[in-house]
Structure 1
Amino acid sequence: MPAPLLVHARDGVPIRGFVRAAADPAPDRPVVIVNCATSVRCRYYERFADDLHARGADVVTWDYRGIGESKPASWRGFDASWTDWGALDFEAVLSHVIATFPGRPVDVVGHSFGGCAIGLAPSAHRVRRIVTVGAQFAYWRDYAPAHRWPMALKWHLAMPLLAALLGHVPAKRLGWMEDTPRGVALDWAVSWPRLEHRRSLRATGLPPTFAAVGADVLAIGLDDDPFGTEPALDRLLGYFTGSRRTHWRIAPKDIGVDAIGHFAFFHSRFQNTLWPVARTWLADGVLPPGTPGRVHAAT
């Protein structure tokens, strides 16, 4: 059973999650941190985390402030931004892991915004390897053409309006995702192609932490993911200038299924087809023999 995690961000906000740790680990046993997608709670990734743990890694799953285990008792007076989620919350979890598991390699799996959050953390240069899945920062022109306008209306018009009117987005009630802090919704909704133009980064600009990341990055894109298109993943990868970057594309037909989309990579039905791609990269920094799909770009 995973143990509860409680750390405090630099501004005092409690961040909660779970730790799967071996009782008597080898000194080189890796620790993998799983960063969630925007407003997806960490429990969504528990089967994936269980699999990594069973195959030789300790695993930390956790929730950003405002989400899941880290949700406030009341939305009154509470807010958070994408920058807070990366520079404060992920930084707190990463710093805790580095201190709690000294000398052990630290890897990160980032889903959607979770891949972007890595580059916002001051201690991200301590990460050894990274796997991202559908990781991007929601520039609307990068959405898949067939879905672009409906998605733009939902995420770039309806969502910020709800946030402005209610102080947060009651997304769970609408069947979208977890309820979402106002500042996160407004960061997401900005329709500019550069991350540093998002609302919470305008005053400070892009932090140097992205370029400081030296971890080998495997960015996995699914061809039927309307968020994680080739241009969207390339746009985020362009910020990790200090890393060896591999952008790998997988189509549903490559593994004999009809659909994968933005979320299903972490479903247990893909334990034997998709999960080995992430596991092998985290363990060895390479793609396993017979990896389904194709390389889109490697730098």
Structure 2
Amino acid sequence: MAKEILGEEITFAAPDGWTLAGSLFRGENPTTAILISAGTGFPRRFYKDVAQYLAQRGAVVLTYDYRGIGGSGAEDLAASGIDYPDWGRLDMPAAVDALEQACPDLQITHLAHSVGGHFIGLMPNHNKIRRHAFASVGVGSWMYHHKSYLPTEMYFWWGLGTYCLLRYGYIKPLGGWQGEALPPELFKTWRRWSNRREYFRSDYDGKLAGHHYDQVDAPIKSWIFPDDPIATQPAAESLLKSYPNAKQQIVMRSAKDIGVSRIGHEGAFRKGREELWGEFWDWLSKP
């Protein structure tokens, strides 16, 4: 049995001075460095098992919390002013630099879950990443999702979301929302994009002005799962259009393929998915 690798708790600063929390997992004789970027509302601890697995295979792995999430939280979330693009422009680049500082002799690769694959084109240092593995990454527009999921989305956007904004000033984990609390501006941006077929591309000349999406050329391999109602194949294909100059491949894996009963939108990172994690490793460690 492989030796358990415990994460070293670190902090590092985003360009605007916001303190971000991370966990660094260092394998023996590492050959590559892997950044794990979370989905919306998922704290870095959710990715501990896959990070340990990759470190045991021979990587230095950094998990981290975006501002407003987990260990990178805000004292007053309602008044924090945190918006979705901040995660891509400020937090993700800072995480890359922190990983580079921890292992300057290793090339950096990237494992992205959900929104973790959305904002690479906002990163001024995106070219430090050699390749990307996407898991359950697709546009958030409801028009590309399973039709059976639409009532859940409408309830979240206009029912629970509206109530939380009026009652608390931010999105609180209640009423079915199992993720971390979310800042109000971020939620409203997410909700607006979710009702546009082009999703965040509709804001290329607005909130995302000055982006680098057409400059990203690191290859992307995107894993999607039939029982994921959000990152469907059409949603994944639409998202990949945001990176027109990156070599791309979509891989479909069912729960049966890897010997589990369910994957869904978050299950690729839960225990028992080591066969899938091995595929991530093979791609990310590729010379």
Q: Same fold, TM exceeding 0.5? A: yes
Counterparts of 1:5 and 1:147 in 2: how far apart (Å)? 38
The one-letter code sitting in structure 1 at the alignment partner of 2:15 is R
Q: 1:182 to 1:20 in 2, by over 3 A?
A: same
SS for the counterpart of 1:269 is coil
- Of 243, 249, 262, the residue aligned with 2:246 is 243
Q: 1:174 to 1:145 in 2, by over 3 A?
A: closer
Q: Verify the 8 A CA contact 1:160 1:189 in the aligned structure 2.
A: no
Within 5 Å, give how 1:110-129 maps onto structure 2: 110-129=112-131
Counterparts of 2:162 and 2:248 in 1: how far apart (Å)? 33
Within 5 Å, give how 1:125-164 maps onto structure 2: 125-155=127-157, 157-160=159-162, 162-163=164-165
1:129-161 Cα offsets, whole Å, 9 max, x none, are 110111123111111112123323323553255
Aligned to 1:263: 266
Within 5 Å, give how 1:12-161 maps onto structure 2: 12-22=17-27, 25=29, 29-155=31-157, 157-160=159-162
> Deviation of residue 30 (structure 1)?
1.0
Q: Verify the 8 A CA contact 1:30 1:106 in the aligned structure 2.
A: yes
> Deviation of residue 103 (structure 1)?
3.7
SS for the counterpart of 1:69 is helix
Q: Verify the 8 A CA contact 1:137 1:188 in the aligned structure 2.
A: no
Matched, 1:166 2:155: no
> Deviation of residue 240 (structure 1)?
1.1
Q: 1:5 to 1:173 in 2, by over 3 A?
A: farther
Q: Verify the 8 A CA contact 2:69 2:182 in the aligned structure 1.
A: yes
Q: 1:172 to 1:109 in 2, by over 3 A?
A: farther
Unpaired segments ≥5 residues, structure 1: 286-299
1:41-79 Cα offsets, whole Å, 9 max, x none, are 010000100000010000000000111111123325213
Aligned to 1:193: 197
> Deviation of residue 115 (structure 1)?
0.9
- Tell me the C-alpha RMSD between the 2 structures: 2.1
1:179-222 Cα offsets, whole Å, 9 max, x none, are 11112211210111221335xx6535454422222211111101
Counterparts of 1:242 and 1:157 in 2: how far apart (Å)? 39
Q: Verify the 8 A CA contact 2:229 2:265 in the aligned structure 1.
A: yes
Matched, 1:4 2:6: no
The one-letter code sitting in structure 2 at the alignment partner of 1:284 is K
1:89-117 Cα offsets, whole Å, 9 max, x none, are 11111122234432421011110001113
Unpaired segments ≥5 residues, structure 2: 1-5
The one-letter code sitting in structure 1 at the alignment partner of 2:129 is V
Q: Structure 1 segments of 4 or more deviating over 6 A?
A: none
Aligned to 1:215: 218
Counterparts of 2:145 and 2:166 in 1: how far apart (Å)? 24
Counterparts of 2:239 and 2:166 in 1: how far apart (Å)? 27
1:158-191 Cα offsets, whole Å, 9 max, x none, are 3255235532100257552111111221121011
Q: Verify the 8 A CA contact 2:38 2:113 in the aligned structure 1.
A: yes
Equivalent pairs: percent with the same residue? 24
Counterparts of 2:153 and 2:133 in 1: how far apart (Å)? 26
Counterparts of 2:143 and 2:151 in 1: how far apart (Å)? 9
Q: Verify the 8 A CA contact 2:107 2:129 in the aligned structure 1.
A: yes
The one-letter code sitting in structure 2 at the alignment partner of 1:242 is N
Q: 1:160 to 1:231 in 2, by over 3 A?
A: farther
1:4-51 Cα offsets, whole Å, 9 max, x none, are 12111111111111111257x46xx21101000001001000010000
Counterparts of 1:63 and 1:172 in 2: how far apart (Å)? 21
Q: Verify the 8 A CA contact 1:156 1:188 in the aligned structure 2.
A: no
